[in-house]
Structure 1
Amino acid sequence: MSSRGGAFRQMVGGKTLGPSHRRHRKILRDNIKGITKPAIR
């Protein structure tokens, strides 16, 4: 569980290193929560 979440965070973190990381941060956060919830369950 923790290892998977870390991998997702690293991938997203690298992608959010853009100029509009603030805007993507909110969208990515929602996407991660929605994807990780069903994937873990």
Structure 2
Amino acid sequence: GNAHTSHYGPVALRDFPEEEVNTICNAWGHHWAELVQRLNPSG
């Protein structure tokens, strides 16, 4: 994820170490991927 945007939720990502930011980005990415698959099962 891009640590310079607020796209990944209401967390001020710049206040976290890069390692933590990556974890948050991955978690949000996984969440959105599941949501998309649930909405578009044929995709």
TM-score, normalization by structure 2 = 0.47
Kindly indicate whether structure 1 or structure 2 has the higher relative contact order, using CA contacts under 8 Å at least 6 residues apart: 1
